Amino acid sequence: MKWQSQLVRFNDCYFADGGKETFATSKETVNRTLTLSDGSSMVVRTSGYSNFYSDVLPKATSTSSASSAITQMAAGSSPSSTARAA
């Protein structure tokens, strides 16, 4: 898995619940949907133990950096990652 445990960047993307939801809930891991510039989407998993879990997801299109735990991307399944928007 080429991208596992690597910092990756997505340009011109947005969170489906941007401006409404936080990155996570205290002490819980949650899934958030990140929509990419080509219209595709991916699941972003964020830990409630992170130092930014209570930050509200950005509501505008932005660049997102993700410390990835991307799984099975090469196999074509939906990847997931742990991310924080820049």
Query: What would the pLDDT profile of 7-65 be if each residue is shown by its tens digit?
Result: 777 788 888 999 999 999 999 999 999 888 888 998 888 889 988 889 999 887 766 65
- Count structural domains, the chain: 1
Identify the band that residue 73 occupies on the pLDDT scale cut at 50, 70 and 90.
very low
Q: What is the DSSP string of 21-83?
A: SBS-BTTB-EEEEEE-TTS-EEEEEE-TTSTTTTSBPP-S-EEEEEE----STTTTSPPEEEE
65: in domain = yes
In a domain? residue 78: yes
Q: Is residue 61 part of a domain?
A: yes
Is 2 within a domain? no
The per-residue pLDDT for 10 is: 77
Q: Determine the pLDDT at residue 75.
A: 32
Residue 47 lies in a domain: yes
**Does 50 reside within a domain?**
yes
What is the span of the domain harbouring residue 11?
Answer: 7-85
Q: Which segment, 2-6, 35-39, 75-79, is predicted with the most confidence on average?
A: 35-39
Q: What pLDDT shows up at residue 26?
A: 95
pLDDT at 32: 92
Does some domain include residue 12?
Answer: yes
**Does the residue 31 lie in any domain?**
yes
CATH of the domain at 36: 2.40.50
Confidence of residue 1 (pLDDT cuts 50, 70, 90): low
